[in-house]
Amino acid sequence: MWNSRKVGILGGGQLGRMLVESCNRLNIQANVLDAENSPAKLISFHDGHVTGSFKEREAVRQLAKSCDVMTAEIEHVDTYALEEVASEVQVEPSWQAIRTIQNKFNQKEHLRQYGIPMADHRELIKNTPEELAEVGEQLGYPMMLKSKTMAYDGRGNFRVNSKEDIPEALEALKDRPLYAEKWAYFKMELAVMVIKTKDEVLSYPTVETVQEDSICKLVYAPARNVSDKINEEAQALARKAVAAFEGKGAFGVEMFLLEDNSLMLCEIASRIHNSGHYTIEGCGLSQFDSHIRAIMDLPIPAKSLEIRQPSIMLNIIGGSAPDTHLKAAEAALSIPNAAIHLYSKGAAKPGRKMGHITVTAATMHEAETIIQPLIDVVDNIRA
């Protein structure tokens, strides 16, 4: 292989696994730090993996010794460990970017300096009912109370509808660092995958995301009923936001499209992202391919980020029984142009992402028709 440098990946869940799929096709060795038999390790047979957690300093040090470029499938990693090893191994994106982004409040304070539009927000210091009531006076109701850290799939968010909800909200997010956001009355949620290379900031087209119980359920690529102008504006906003951070690789940018067609940033993830899974079948290069190329300084032809065919991605989320998610995969076997991705996570827990299905078709309407029976199956699993 022309490039024998090794990649180290913090985290071996589904995102790490799909990164390994991209590495494998380029003969790049990916060393994964996570528990034994994690999804990424199951498709990568060599003795370079590290057993442990991306939150353990010693394990991060060990991974650093075994690779040339280190990256992460998750932002909730020990960035102090990353800072320590950054002198001996390349860390992408930078530990500074990951540290700022992993704290949603700090992320927003940082982005504010770059003029990125966001929902008005207030930091909580004491987390008392009196303090939150004062914030409620300022932001109005409803407002979203959010944990600054360790947030994912809406676990860390609480909608505060009125002053009466304050005790319940503070109880639900007890012992977590908090801030509150003004309610965003969006008509649609949009997302853009941004790829930061050594000298460019590239973007994939704008997609539409549909969340159910704060978990991403569906992604429509490109976003439906969105003008070219808004599609371009969303990409420009996403690139501008990502340009505010140091380092290379993929970043997922979530946005709100408001009633007046203006855009607001929801949050950034310093990694490959669920909203970009459609790129595996929908584009010339997937977000995983592009991430690996970006951190290894390999060429990324801009044309390869265009959508080749309209695509819809449906997440398969754990249901009431440990194997209900397999019903969706089984149903997809008979659907034309349905690519099935199961993550080898073993038994499902309710709400856990177990796999996804992407349907591509000549038109978005056709893709919608083809995927509808699968959406029905998924809805029945969750019910």
| Contact residues: ligand ATP, CB under 6 A | 119, 144, 151-157, 181, 183-184, 189, 211, 214, 254, 266-267
In angstroms, give the least distance from the CB of 70 to ligand ATP.
Answer: 22
Burial of 357 (0-12, 13-18, 19+ CB in 10 A): buried
Q: Which of residues 216-255 bind Mg ion (CB under 5 A)?
A: 254
What is the Cα gyration radius of the chain?
A: 20
When CB distances are held under 5 to 8 angstroms depending on the partner's kind, the choice from ligand ATP, Mg ion, none that residue 68 binds is none
Cβ-defined contacts of 286-291 (< 8 Å, 24+): 286/18, 286/22, 287/193, 287/195, 287/204, 287/250, 288/18, 288/19, 288/21, 288/22, 288/250, 289/22, 289/25, 290/193, 290/195, 290/202, 290/250, 291/19, 291/22, 291/71, 291/195, 291/249, 291/250
Nearer to ligand ATP, 114 or 152 (CB): 152
Nearer to ligand ATP, 77 or 285 (CB): 77
**Cβ distance 226 to 188 under 8 Å?**
yes
Let me know how long the chain is: 383
In angstroms, give the least distance from the CB of 257 to ligand ATP.
Answer: 12
Nearer to ligand ATP, 244 or 264 (CB): 264
Nearer to ligand ATP, 157 or 309 (CB): 157
Instruction: Sketch the per residue contact string, 256 through 295, with Mg ion: x for CB under 5 A, - otherwise.
Output: -----------x----------------------------
In angstroms, give the least distance from the CB of 194 to ligand ATP.
Answer: 15
When CB distances are held under 5 to 8 angstroms depending on the partner's kind, the choice from ligand ATP, Mg ion, none that residue 181 binds is ligand ATP
When CB distances are held under 5 to 8 angstroms depending on the partner's kind, the choice from Mg ion, ligand ATP, none that residue 48 binds is none
Nearer to Mg ion, 68 or 267 (CB): 267
How many C-beta atoms surround the C-beta of residue 339 within 10 A? 18
In angstroms, give the least distance from the CB of 153 to ligand ATP.
Answer: 4
When CB distances are held under 5 to 8 angstroms depending on the partner's kind, the choice from ligand ATP, Mg ion, none that residue 141 binds is none
In angstroms, give the least distance from the CB of 370 to ligand ATP.
Answer: 26
When CB distances are held under 5 to 8 angstroms depending on the partner's kind, the choice from ligand ATP, Mg ion, none that residue 337 binds is none
C-alpha–C-alpha distance, residues 79 and 54, integer Å: 9
Reference 358, options 289, 295, 298, 308; nearest CA is 308
In angstroms, give the least distance from the CB of 191 to Mg ion.
Answer: 9
Question: Strand runs (DSSP E) across 52-140, as ranges?
Answer: 69-72, 90-91, 121-123
**Cβ distance 256 to 181 under 8 Å?**
no
